[in-house]
Structure 1
Amino acid sequence: MTKYISALGLDVGRKRLGVAGCDRTGLIATGITTVERTSFEQDVQEIRNIVNERQVEVLIVGLPYSMDGTLGFQARQIQKFATRLAKALQLPIEYVDERLTSFQAEQLIIAENRSPSRNKGLIDRKAAALILQQWLDIRRANALSSVVPVEY
């Protein structure tokens, strides 16, 4: 029997938070909204509303590793924010390497014949969905690899 999951993917930026959710089976991630950042308290309240509505069990946050695999200034800032957010929401947090997700999101928007410069919020939502989808795929692959084959 499959355990249902409700995870929230976050693409954390200085101006906006891209937010994505998944279906209860944990197969497909989709962008939900973009939160325009104002204050930490307001950011928490907006995310809390989504968490309560979707019965979220875990936060998945994209961490922008440097191309050499180290954590730079921006990644450490995101970790600080995410740690405070997870504590405020009383939820566990997991990180996903988000290198190039914003670029991938921009390419998806261009493929839809839209202008990336006019759709920053959409880029953030799509990036959050890519982050969450990566986590879901890894989780599913790990679950499948832990299945012991039965010999007949």
Structure 2
Amino acid sequence: MLRYTAMRILAVDYGERRVGLALSDPMGFLASALKVIQRQSDKQVAAEIGDVVREYEVERIVLGNPITMSGEVGQKAQHVEKFRALLMNVVDIPVELFDERLTTVSAQRVLLEADVSRKRRKQVVDAVAATILLQHYLDAKSH
């Protein structure tokens, strides 16, 4: 009999105004949008993520790393690295950076193709981007 180890993974698509969250299923195969946090401060976002980690018994966080298309670490990526350090002081689980290039573009495309209204797209695009980020991560880890 095959045994699978349940391991929930949380993806975080960090933005200046909104932070999208996506959660894996317990088996670590599928990503689903969870919610969007309206960002007031990094401390507030880290605290809310800590609550999600405890509520869903998350064992790993994948934080989108906004490196440039040329692979360079820009100002946004530096800010994400600082946020990662803060988050690691709030949660006692690994927080891994993962390339998020084009996840928001992909999320916008998916929502446009689904004919989601402009107002609704703005509300959910970050959670959809986090879902795409997490699914890419899960797919990369399964190979």
TM-score category (smaller protein): over 0.9
Distance (whole Å) between structure 1 residues aligned to residue 125 and residue 92 of structure 2: 28
1:75 aligns with 2:80: no
Q: SS of the counterpart of 1:26?
A: coil
Structure 2: tracts of 5 or more residues without a match:
none
Partner of 1:122: 124
Q: Post-superposition shift, 1:91? A: 1.9
* C-alpha contact 1:106 1:116 (8 A) present in aligned 2: no
- 2:98 is aligned to 96
SS in 2 for 1:31: strand
Contact 2:60/2:93, CA 8 A, preserved across alignment: yes
Q: Residue in 2 aligned with 1:148?
A: none
Alignment of 1:3-152 (within 5 A): 3-116=5-118, 118-141=120-143
Q: CA deviation at 1:79?
A: 1.1
CA contact (8 A) 2:66 2:100 kept: yes
Question: What are the superposed Cα offsets for residues 86-123 of structure 1, whole Å, 9 maximum, x if unpaired?
Answer: 22112211111111100000001001101345422310
> Does structure 1 retain, via aligned residues, the 8 Å contact 2:12–2:63?
yes
Q: Is 2:104–2:129's contact at 8 Å kept on the other side of the alignment?
A: yes
Q: How many residues align?
A: 141
* Whole-Å separation in 2 of the counterparts to 1:106 and 1:35: 18
Q: Describe the superposition over 1:55-109 as per-residue Cα deviations: whole angstroms up to 9, x where unpaired.
A: 0111101111111111111111111112211221122111111111000000010
CA RMSD of aligned residues (A): 1.3
Partner amino acid for 2:92? Q
Query: Between the two proteins, what is the percent identity of the paired residues?
Result: 32
Decide whether the 8 Å contact of 1:102 with 1:124 is kept in 2.
yes
Length-normalised TM-score, structure 2:
0.92
Q: How many angstroms apart in 2 are the aligned matches of 1:45 and 1:64?
A: 22
The letter for the 2-side match of 1:29 is A
Q: Identify the residue that residue 150 of structure 1 maps to in structure 2.
A: none
- Larger of the two Rg values belongs to structure: 1
Q: TM-score, length-normalised on structure 1?
A: 0.87
